[in-house]
Amino acid sequence: MYMKRSQIKRRPLADTVLASLEPEERDYRELDGNGLYFRVKKNGAKSWNLRYKKADGKWSWLGLGGFPAVSGKAARQKAQELQQMASDGIDLSSYRQEQNASAKQVYTFAQSAETWFERKQQRGLSKGTLRQMRLYLDRDILPALGNKDITAITRGDCAGVQAAIESRNAHVIAGKVRRWVSQIFSEAIARGRCELNPASELRHIAESGPRTQNYPHLLEHELPDFLKELRNGTARMRFLTTAALRMVLMTASRPGMVRHAEWKEIDLSRGLWTIDKQKMKMRRDFVCPLPRQIVETLREVYELSNRSRYVFPGIGHVNSMMSENTINKAIATIGYKGRMVGHGSRHTASTLLREHGWNRDYVEMQLAHVEPGTAGVYNKAAYVDQRTAMMQWYADYLDALEEGLSEARKRRFDDAVNVVPYPL
């Protein structure tokens, strides 16, 4: 049922009124309010127009879209925003042209992928990590998605990339690529290049792949015999090898970090080892407390260092580090091949400390485990006082296990858990 505009009784105009306004012999505009007009063409087409004053004081018109695609409420909200912009001196005509040009801009996935990779480079990731990212970008991701309009990529496209990698049983790589592709889309959304992340749910269809196993490690009841064998086997090993293994055990550090340790990082007077972020898996500086036992050992090592750059140099080379397999060979030498490896000592420490009640956050920080997304709150010296107490407790506990731990002494250790400073 049509309504003549002479029958309009109130403004702003209700959508029911807008829908029923009949066309006339000529196009006409009906005021809605605040410079917003409803236009009815003689052919029945209806749309919104905004009348606004330009910076030079002249009046002009701007179209806001057709009706009913743009409702009365939406048109009024947009009109209010544009009137404010006009009053602030913004040229609405130029603004509209820029908006239209931006809307027509097509971004390929490859463009967003390169932007993402550049940011990874700027963050100072290791050359090895960047090399791996570049390899799988060029080999798996970009050939499948690179030339596509990023807004046109589907979940099926992303699933195809994942499936292709899984088909060659590279499940670990598939997981990394899945995360990288999702990150690329997330950054593109933040930059206004697309609205959806079609890679966000790929984990739900990912193949499991073979289950990874923990490094061989010892439980608490196995430690006394191991520690005694280590003490007795010292004569069959270089002093530096034994010292390095003890440092791995008593600091719960990665063997590679101990091998790479440099004297410039060690502060024996304070009992602290500050590791540069370039050496850390998490790419952040890290402070590791050194128990008294390790400080004493390192003082002896320093006397033998012959001005070496590394704390544990290789044989015959002052400025080279200990070889990669030295620590595991030492463990095998005392009869624990297949039962224990250097990296497994981290699992041993984590399990023992947690079972005795040490705060999970202290343990995780000592292991240099940082949850994704916590970069903003990370502090290289976080919990350093608490971790100093914890690792001194742990070193003393290992010594006590080797010597033979009485129930009374065990209770004293239990009473010292999470006590700062360390009371024993």
Active site residues: 254, 281, 343, 346, 369, 378
Helix (H) or strand (E) holding 33: strand 28-33
Are the C-beta atoms of 268 and 291 separated by less than 8 Å? no
Distance of CA 391 to the CA centre of its chain: 28
SS3 content of the chain, % helix, strand, coil (to 5): 50, 10, 35
Tell me which DSSP letter residue 48 carries.
E
Helix (H) or strand (E) holding 362: helix 360-366
Are the C-beta atoms of 41 and 16 separated by less than 8 Å? no
Q: Do you know the residue count of the chain?
A: 424
Most distant CA atoms of the chain, gap in Å? 110
- What's the CA gap between 38 and 28, in Å, rounded? 8
Provide the CB-side half-sphere exposure for 365 (13 A, CA): 25
Are the C-beta atoms of 70 and 63 separated by less than 8 Å? no
Tell me which DSSP letter residue 21 carries.
B
